[in-house]
Amino acid sequence: MTVFFSLLAFSCGENSSVDEASREGILIMGNSGEPKGLDPHIVSGVLESNVIRSLFEGLVEAHPSKDGIALPGVAEKWYPVNSKRPDEWIFELRKDAQWSDGKPLTANDFLFSFRRLLTPGLASDYSFMLYYIKDAEFYHKSQRSYLLYRNDPTFTEDWWDSLKEVNFGPNEKAEEGSFNFIGLDKLNLGQLEKLLKNSSLFDWPSTLSTKIRRSLVLKNLTFEKKDRGALKDHELKDLWELIDFGASAPDKHTLKVKLNSPIPFLPEITKHYTWYPVPKHVVLKHGNIGERFTKWTKPENLVGNGAFVLKSWRFNDHIEVSRNPNYWDKDNVGINGIRFLPIGNLYTEDRMYFDGQMHVTYSIASELIEYSREKYPEHVRSELYLGTYFIRTNVSNEPFTDPRVRLAFSYALNQKSLIDNVLKGGQKPASGLVPPFGNYPASDVVTFDPELARKLLADAGYPGGKGLPDIEFLTTDKESSKVTAEALQAMWKEHLGATIKIKQMEWTSYITAMFDKDYDMAAGGWIGDYMDPLTFLDMWMKGVGNNRTGWHNEEFEKILGVAAQTGEPKKRYELLAQAESLFLEERPILPVYWYTRNYLLHPDVKGWSPLLLDNHPYKFLRLEPDPINREDR
């Protein structure tokens, strides 16, 4: 390592990559790895977000230096219809908004984009970000029976609640391939016809009358039979006609959004890329609304509405974006382009930075943090970051079906030792899921308690780790990920007697394995999507794409539902804290630490300020070469 340190000195050449790029106005950024894609409705990672934010713009834009402040984006103005109950919002769109191909951007583009994100076939991990909109969740979850019944004159919510034991959605505990495994709302035309003839093909609650059973089947069958068009027998009809979707366009420059409950911070939520518009005319040219990974995001096809356009994408080399000549605020964009480098090895990235090959690193190798602070303090940034590093457990796989085992593995983690001896980046031990901020009452239940960990494991039937099945810990293929995994592996061995095998995968394969729940334990983390505790909690609801643990709890979701209808801030926070407490009692994920952001930033970069969500709006940046700094090197 001493030899490596000796190599970390700034390049003294006359024309480094950074020198040339600064003169040309091109920002060079480390971006950790190769993006899974650039479709805002499909991806879910930070490294994808970093690129997407340059290519697309939402209703509002982030402030370059102030957290929680929204600036005009596609919308020039926004306001709740009733400020005392902000459950309906108006966004007035600018008339000069265009796509990068010069076509007008209107409110209808947002409506198409919302529908696309919610289309069940698209299987977006982030569809829940639109559940705040009236009827969005019903549509995305294909709740056919509820939508068919709710307009009946005799319908009441109490009556519907009496049917809660019916497997309307998939029941993963039922026999695979059975009608209950599929769920009543997902049965196709042929299956419904069979069920009408033979009611015993479905395992009904014993309290449900024959009349109600037949009514449920007939209601679904009648809907599926009518006006099928070119649909094949196994294909389900789209439910869009059954919902009263909360988003509408009174005219092409006005977007109205009706919510399920009051949300005073809705503009903050719309900063997230899932709320960005996508170009209907381009998406549908290359596939249908529910197709994943079509050619519309290829460099030669991609059309966006952000300050930049996609110039080139060379796999495992770079993604480069350049100025968008059709961007509404093009005259105030401060740089000419951005080059994103997919450098997975932190040592390589740090070496490239000090060799004058990039302006901003994704991170700093833990062993180099103190060295960099001492030698180049003006280049080192150590900032608060609203995020939590945790370990997912697959609650469908033994031994993590038992919450006592999950708790044991959590209490066996010496978080402070990991931070002090391995990470060395000023992180804080996570005593809960939601990081402390604002007036939210942070949890303190997650601690290091090896004695309790051993007792819980023994109570679960694995004294001293004896009898535990083979357990794999999934992580990414970065060197830093391996070092962290090995430290955790050693803790579980020392305190529980558990032998854990580490499995490393490149980013895309790692994401796919988690999505498929093809793991036992997996390294994970969450960066807040907006400035509210809910962003750390609602992702654990049933069926949410970013959950990926198999865990869900009706009481947890009920508390979140009550919180959604609660306008008084203190009471709302208390309810969210109650939901977090329940979640941590069962602990499907093991909180490890609250993030800090440690990285290197070149002095040429101006307008880059600390932000809790690290979502820097690139249009406000400037590159100003400093000849004095270069002479002193």
Provide the pLDDT for residue 386.
94
633 and 496: one domain? Answer: no
What is the separation of C-alpha 409 from the centre of its chain, rounded to a whole number of angstroms?
A: 25
Please confirm whether the linkage preceding 399 is cis (ω < 30° from 0): yes
587 and 608: one domain? Answer: no
Provide the pLDDT for residue 628.
59
Residue showing tokens 């010069």: 102
- Please state the rounded mean pLDDT for residues 608-626: 95
Answer yes or no: is 106 within a domain.
no
Concatenating the DSSP letter of every residue in 416-484 gives: HHHIIIII-S--EE-SSSSPP-TT----------HHHHHHHHHHTT-GGGTTPPPEEEEEES-HHHHHH
327 and 221: one domain? Answer: no
Q: Residue 493, exposed/middle/buried by CB under 10 A (0-12, 13-18, 19+)?
A: middle
Q: What are phi and psi of 346, to 5 degrees?
A: -65, -35
Answer yes or no: is 476 within a domain.
yes
* Mean pLDDT of the chain, nearest integer: 94
- Please state the rounded mean pLDDT for residues 510-514: 91
Where residue 629 falls among pLDDT bands split at 50, 70, 90? Answer: low
CA atoms within 13 A on the CB side of 115: 20
397 and 518: one domain? Answer: yes
Where residue 173 falls among pLDDT bands split at 50, 70, 90? Answer: confident
Which tens digits make up the pLDDT trace of 383-428?
989 999 999 999 999 999 999 999 999 999 999 999 999 999 999 9
Where residue 332 falls among pLDDT bands split at 50, 70, 90? Answer: very high
Does the pLDDT of residue 543 top 90, yes or no? Answer: no
Provide the pLDDT for residue 427.
94
481 and 535: one domain? Answer: yes
339 and 438: one domain? Answer: no
202 and 341: one domain? Answer: no
149 vs 129, 136, 213, 280, CA distance in Å? Answer: 26, 17, 13, 32
Q: Are the beta carbons of 596 and 611 closer than 8 angstroms?
A: no
**Using a CB cutoff of 8 Å and minimum separation of 24, what contacts does 622-631 make?**
622/334, 622/335, 623/21, 623/22, 623/25, 623/26, 623/27, 623/334, 623/335, 623/359, 624/22, 625/19, 625/22, 625/23, 629/603, 630/19
265 vs 64, 71, 128, CA distance in Å? Answer: 18, 13, 16
Does the pLDDT of residue 546 top 60, yes or no? Answer: yes
d(CA 262, CA 281): 33
Provide the pLDDT for residue 8.
59
The residues near 266 (Cβ < 8 Å, ≥ 6 apart) are 80, 86, 89, 132, 257, 259
Q: Residue 522, exposed/middle/buried by CB under 10 A (0-12, 13-18, 19+)?
A: buried
Answer yes or no: is 86 within a domain.
no
Answer yes or no: is 551 within a domain.
yes
Answer yes or no: is 246 within a domain.
no
d(CA 339, CA 358): 9
330 and 469: one domain? Answer: no
- Please state the rounded mean pLDDT for residues 202-227: 96
Where residue 568 falls among pLDDT bands split at 50, 70, 90? Answer: confident
What percent of the chain shows pLDDT beyond 90? 89
Provide the pLDDT for residue 9.
60
- Please state the rounded mean pLDDT for residues 559-568: 90
- Please state the rounded mean pLDDT for residues 436-449: 93
Q: How many structural domains compose the chain? A: 3
| CATH value at residue 617 | 3.40.190.10
Provide the pLDDT for residue 633.
45
Provide the pLDDT for residue 482.
94
326 and 400: one domain? Answer: no
Which tens digits make up the pLDDT trace of 44-78?
889 999 999 999 999 999 999 999 999 999 999 99
Q: Are the beta carbons of 128 and 536 closer than 8 angstroms?
A: no
The residues near 77 (Cβ < 8 Å, ≥ 6 apart) are 91, 92
d(CA 570, CA 552): 26
Provide the pLDDT for residue 3.
40
Does the pLDDT of residue 104 top 90, yes or no? Answer: yes
440 and 544: one domain? Answer: yes
Q: What is the dihedral sign for C-alpha 50, 54, 55, 56?
A: positive
| CATH value at residue 546 | 3.10.105.10
Nearest partner of 399 among 499, 491, 548, judged by Cα: 499
Residue 59: both structure tokens together: 């209703």
Of 551 and 626, which is predicted with more confidence? 551
625 and 525: one domain? Answer: no
Provide the pLDDT for residue 12.
53
Which tens digits make up the pLDDT trace of 301-322?
999 999 999 999 999 999 999 9
Provide the pLDDT for residue 14.
64
Answer yes or no: is 172 within a domain.
yes
Structural domain of residue 180, as residue ranges?
A: 143-238
Three-state secondary structure along 226-248? CCCCCCCCCCCCCCHHHCCCCEE
Q: Are the beta carbons of 490 and 351 closer than 8 angstroms?
A: no
Provide the pLDDT for residue 2.
43
What is the separation of C-alpha 426 from the centre of its chain, rounded to a whole number of angstroms?
A: 24
